[in-house]
A = this chain, B = another copy of it.
Amino acid sequence: MAEKITKRDINYSEWYNDLVIQSGLAENSAVRGCMVIKPHGWAIWENMKSILDKKFKDTGHVNASFPLLIPKSFLEQEEGHAEGFAKECAVVTHYRLKTHPDKKGKLIVDPESRLEEELIIRPTSETIIWNCYRGWIQSYRDLPILINQWANVMRWEMRTRLFLRTAEFHWQEGHTAHATQEEAVEETLKMLDVYADFMENYMAVPVIKGVKTANERFAGALDTYCVEAMMQDGKALQAGTSHFLGQNFAKAFDVKFLNKEGKLEYAWATSWGVSTRMMGALIMAHSDDDGLVIPPRLAPLHVVIVPIFKNAEQLAAITEKADAIIKELKALNIIVKFDDSDTAKPGWKFAEYELKGVPVRVAMGMRDVENNTVEIARRDTKEKTTVANENLGAYIQDLLEKIQQNMYDKALAFRTANTFVIDTWDAFTAQIEKGGFIYAHWDGTSETEDKIKELTKATIRCIPMDGVEEAGTCVYSGKPSNKRVLFARAY
């Protein structure tokens, strides 16, 4: 319940954790860093998946499934990739348990079942997929390959947080192979746009598209593009990435094709992914001290109808009215629940559905029955209005669209109010303590980037794609710069 949730201005981090648990989205499991995604959380993730999956298919991609386990030697093939992931790999070394020789009922690892080569649980699948692609690609006619995989992956993180950073997480990973560099770059950017479109138009979270600096690039990529969103505490969250991998993986796994000119050439690669981390972004961008606020386009339940009654006769009268409304809403593909359970009072139900983030609550009492009205409460603004039953379906449909738009507008206004163009080091360090996004000049060196991070905990989130050329001097080193980059502290 909401009273168990720490207020945002007391402790934002505790608010987040309390909210995830109290609203029934997820909880920690007995396995360190691995979470249980509960039905309410999984239902939102399923909605995200289904919308994204359609977008991937509409852009020509197909799904497939590659093994969970990857031979250790595969990771060694691409040096940068190995460096990036080796330190956080769960390693399978044996394939059998046996009963303990002395302790009844206990199991031990059977030492005779040791694997010749250790297997790692995929932290990402470039290596095993490009090892397959070698067999699938001979000619330019076999290209492009546009494959996506919905999968679980594992990275043994030391500090984990529900949804934001977990050892096991769920994601999709697109892995495409192309005949030319141009086509691969085009694909990389196309999928970045798909992500941005999804985040803005479904998650109601405005994002900034940009390219990562060399420091922040995906291990094995030539360029990593990203979408960055602002959370309510002013910190940034990287919500999705799209990588141009060049020919690195084709070279590592010897994937060559005969081009149109009859010459052997290495294939060009991209990979791109979003994960259950987006759930964290969704929660932190919109929710409040009373619970979740879920944008209608992702909500598992759009409308809850709560009858207010004293006896069975009153409930019957309300139910009759409600049935007509439910029918009207269902015909408009609006997902509605009539909660006539008698185990909880209306006030408790109101709080519960607020906690769960249901966008629209409809309350119906006897006076409403007499007046042919209902009381409608918006989750986003908490406004209550009495509305006539006539054309209520259309009214609610319109209201859901308004809520969706309002949530986006509010998030955008918040980001705008917390975004600063800064030119001096003093102003930079002062602002970063208060949070927010900072556009500042940077001299382009990793040394300066590292130094700024060390001094302020702020990182370069990206070099924004819509940034304009502009002469300036680096906010830290004073050296010349021709473009502002986006700084922030980040999740």
| Contact surface of A with B, Cβ cutoff 8 Å | 27, 29-31, 34-39, 41-43, 46, 62-72, 74-76, 79, 82, 86-99, 105-107, 109, 113, 118-121, 128, 131-132, 135, 141, 147, 151-152, 154, 156, 168, 170, 343
Contacts and interface: CB of A to CB of B under 8 A. Distances in A.
Contact of A95 (B36, B46, B90): B90
Contacts of A86: 96-99, 107
Given A95-B90, A97-B89, A82 B68 contact: no
A170 to B, nearest CB: 7
A274 to B, nearest CB: 16
A153 to B, nearest CB: 10
Interface-central residue, A63, A97, A113, by most chain B CB under 10 Å: A97
Contact of A97 (B37, B91, B131): B91
Given A63-B42, A90-B92, A34 B156 contact: no
Contact of A67 (B29, B43, B69): B29
22 contacts: A27-B132, A29-B67, A29-B132, A30-B67, A31-B67, A34-B67, A35-B67, A36-B65, A36-B66, A36-B67, A38-B64, A42-B65, A65-B170, A68-B121, A75-B107, A76-B107, A79-B105, A82-B105, A89-B97, A92-B93, A96-B156, A97-B120
A465 to B, nearest CB: 31
A109 B46 CA distance: 36
A68 B343 contact: no
A84 to B, nearest CB: 12
A225 to B, nearest CB: 25
Instruction: Give the number of times this chain occurs in the complex, counting copies.
Output: 2
Contacts of A88: 95-96
B42 A168 contact: no
Contacts of A343: 141
Contacts of A105: 76, 79, 82
Contacts of A156: 95-96
A109 B132 contact: no
A120 B63 CA distance: 27
Contact of A31 (B38, B64, B119): B119
A143 to B, nearest CB: 13
A93 B95 contact: no
A96 B87 contact: yes
A64 B300 CA distance: 13
A93 to B, nearest CB: 5
Given A36-B65, A75-B107, A96-B156, 20 more contacts: A27-B135, A29-B128, A30-B67, A31-B128, A36-B67, A36-B132, A37-B65, A39-B63, A43-B62, A46-B63, A65-B170, A67-B168, A86-B98, A86-B107, A88-B95, A89-B96, A90-B92, A90-B94, A90-B119, A92-B121
Q: Which of A34, A72, A92, A106 has the most CB of B within 10 A?
A: A92
A489 B71 CA distance: 36
A20 to B, nearest CB: 14
B109 A68 contact: no
A457 to B, nearest CB: 26
Nearest to A276: B65
A93 B111 CA distance: 12
B94 A93 contact: yes
A455 B192 CA distance: 62
Contact of A72 (B37, B91, B107): B107
Given A76-B105, A86-B96, A154 B68 contact: yes
B95 A31 contact: no
A119 to B, nearest CB: 6
Nearest to A158: B95
